[in-house]
Amino acid sequence: MQVTGSVKGRSSRLIRSVSSLAGAAMFVAPLIALVAIWAIVVPLFNVNPRVFPSVGAVGTAALDSIRDGTLFAHVAASLLRVGLGTLIGIATAVPLGIAMGVSPTVAAFLTPLFRFFSVLAGIAWIPIATLWFGYGFGAIVFVIFNAVFFVVAYNTLLGVRTIPHSLRNAAASLGAGRWTLLTEVLVPGALPNIVTGIRTGLGFAWRGLIAAEMIATNVGLGYMLFVARDFYRTEVIVFGMIVIGVLWLLIDRLLLVPLERATIERWGMVRRA
Amino acid sequence: MKTLSLRNLGKTYFDPYAGAHVTAVHDVSLDVEPGEFISVVGPSGCGKTTILNMIAGFIPYSKGDILLDGKPVHGPGPERGVVFQSFALFPWKTVLDNVGFGPKMRGVPKAERDRIAREYLALAGLSHAAHRYPNELSGGMQQRVGVVRALANNPDVLLMDEPFASVDAQTRMTLQEELTRIWQERKPTVIFITHDVPEAVFLANRVVVLSKGRVLDQIAVDLPRPRVWDELVKDDQFKQLSARVLQMVRAA
């Protein structure tokens, strides 16, 4: 029993690592193809660098911005804003979502407000946010917070509502009180939806961040794109776009996916994608 | 151990789809002695699950009393343990932590509740699964966890709501035999709801037949223990009792 179990475990781990390698190759192949087409088409048609840069120019722009430290400054500024806005958003949205999930009165009262504000969530707040917080850090963090807050709160509410009633009954008949019901059942039970909410919210936040940085600051990836435009530096713009995309993939793969693996996938609450 | 008494228990609720009041339980009186194993059988809609949910405190009752050792009970409580048809294990807790949940709610320290949980897991032959999550277990194993999770809290009454209805036939027989064995070792007071007549007779000291929200009859089952299917399927007394109960249920 022990032996077959461990052999089975080892072989399935091997299969998993081979298939994840194949998965990575499948993921990278279209990107490589895209870069190859780019490397061929731009010199072939002698594209004006003011319209679209060559691969080499983007590479040079990348090296320059790494060497002079501007890339690091922009990335650090952007990540700090996203991180802080997201954390504040989650910290306020989860308790509110749970309160709505537990109390029909709270839910009924807040639902119309949620409908209204979720349409406005994100960049529609930039003008007034800059009036409240001035141009810069505060306004952008507020926009991020706003993008994350509504989607996480709504998903938390859904999560609490979809917990099977038998689990609450089981906890109550085993002696759980109101507070332990919250910590032992409602929060972990709502976690699959909370994670979905965080994922969607972070996606919104990331887009909102770039938009807000184009308007309301003087450092950050959005600002980097916007300023480069003024000088027809298409290679800097394209490099910035690549950085934005790659950073998002890294956040997703290194932060969100491992979090899901360790929790809700392990518990069998969602199927592995 | 305490006596459980139902006194003229009734449940009427408003059915929004029918637009009328429906009486699920008319008038049920029943006394359950400490250490007794009672099966409650009856056709669908006879009110058996409603009665169990009222005893568990999941739904309020409309009339009568539910008394535990003479005191009325309202709402769920740890002195009435429940085993659910859907298992209702916490997916985010390991088997060990599921079984230790009741003691945890009583404030038992971690080391002690792990010891209790391991003791009960051993009772159900589940020691090897302590650190697995429920989704990694078969249905039969999940319900074994469900049973010992309720038992580990040392309830005065164990309420079981068609607990073996969703496992396959072979596993169900094994679980039934294990349950009788555990009952003999620990002698908990059990109310077991089922629509499966042979199951009811196999497990119980007394079978209560319900019909349309009333107790139709009660039949004592004094078959010797330990009870094993291989022997009981050939046993004339078992066959006669099952046939008698089945007749009543079908006529109900």
Identify the three-state secondary structure at position A87. helix
Mean pLDDT of chain A: 87
CB contacts, 8 Å: A174 with chain B: 78, 81, 101-102, 105, 149-150, 153
Which of B80, B84, B92 lies nearest to residue A170, judging by beta carbons?
Answer: B84
| Partners of B23 in beta bridges | B12
| Cα(A218)–Cα(A46) distance, integer angstroms | 34
And the tokens for A212?
């807000």
Q: Is the pLDDT confidence value at A124 over 60?
A: yes
Sorting pLDDT into bands at 50, 70 and 90, what band is A271? low
Interface-testing mutation among B73, B89, B101, with chain A (most A C-beta atoms within 10 A): B101
| Cα(A243)–Cα(A249) distance, integer angstroms | 10
Which of A175, A185, A188 lies nearest to residue B78, judging by beta carbons?
Answer: A175
Chain A residues touching chain B at CB-CB below 8 Å: 164, 166-167, 169-177, 180, 184-185, 188-189, 191, 263, 266-269
Sign of CA dihedral A178, A180, A185, A190: positive
Q: What is the pLDDT of residues A201-239, one digit of tens each?
A: 888 888 888 888 888 888 999 999 999 988 889 999 999
* Cβ contact A188–B106 (<8 Å): no
Q: A67 CA to chain B: closest CA distance, Å?
A: 47
What's the pLDDT at A9?
52
CB contacts, 8 Å: A176 with chain B: 101, 105
Q: A164 CA to chain B: closest CA distance, Å?
A: 8
Neighbour tally for A113: CB within 10 Å: 10
Q: Is the pLDDT confidence value at A126 over 90?
A: no
* Cβ contact B81–A174 (<8 Å): yes
pLDDT 10s per residue in chain B (252 long)?
A: 688 999 999 999 888 888 889 899 999 999 999 999 999 999 888 899 999 999 999 999 999 999 999 999 999 999 999 999 999 999 999 999 999 999 999 999 999 999 999 999 999 999 999 999 999 999 999 999 999 999 999 999 999 999 999 899 999 999 999 999 999 998 999 999 999 999 999 999 999 999 989 999 999 999 998 899 999 999 999 999 999 999 999 987
Angle between the N-to-C axes of helices A221-230 and A234-251, in degrees from 0 to 180, rounded to the nearest 10:
170
DSSP-assigned letters across all residues of B199-235: HHHHH-SEEEEEETTEEEEEEE----SS--HHHHTT-
Instruction: Kindly report the backbone phi and psi dihedral angles of residue B71, in degrees, each rounded to the nearest multiple of 5, phi listed first.
Output: -105, 135
Paired sense of beta strands B189-193 and B37-41, if any = parallel
What's the pLDDT at A189?
93
CB contacts, 8 Å: A269 with chain B: 91-92, 135
Angle between the N-to-C axes of helices A70-102 and A137-161, in degrees from 0 to 180, rounded to the nearest 10:
40
Paired sense of beta strands B157-161 and B80-83, if any = parallel
Residue A265 is classified by DSSP as I
| Cα(B162)–Cα(B53) distance, integer angstroms | 12
* Cβ pair B81, B103 in contact under 8 A: no
* Cβ contact A267–B91 (<8 Å): yes
pTM, two decimal places: 0.83
> Does ipTM exceed 0.95?
no
Which is more confident, A174 or A114?
Answer: A174
Contacts (Cβ under 8 Å, ≥6 apart) of A264: A191, A192, A195, A270
Sorting pLDDT into bands at 50, 70 and 90, what band is A118? confident
Contacts (Cβ under 8 Å, ≥6 apart) of B92: A188, A189, A191, A263, A267, A269, B133
Which of A166, A176, A266 lies nearest to residue B86, judging by beta carbons?
Answer: A166
How many residue pairs from chains A and B have C-beta atoms closer than 8 A? 74
Provide mean pLDDT across the span A140-145: 92
Instruction: Kindly report the backbone phi and psi dihedral angles of residue A141, in degrees, each rounded to the nearest multiple of 5, phi listed first.
Output: -60, -40
CB contacts, 8 Å: B56 with chain A: 169, 173
Calculate the alpha carbon distances from A163 to A50, A94, A147, A271, B161 in Å.
55, 15, 26, 17, 20
Q: What is the pLDDT of residues B117-145, one digit of tens each?
A: 999 999 999 999 999 999 999 999 999 99
Query: Is the peptide bond prior to B43 cis by the omega test (within 30 degrees of 0)?
Result: no
Residue appearing with tokens 């985010």: B92
* Cβ contact A268–B136 (<8 Å): yes
Q: B233 CA to chain A: closest CA distance, Å?
A: 33
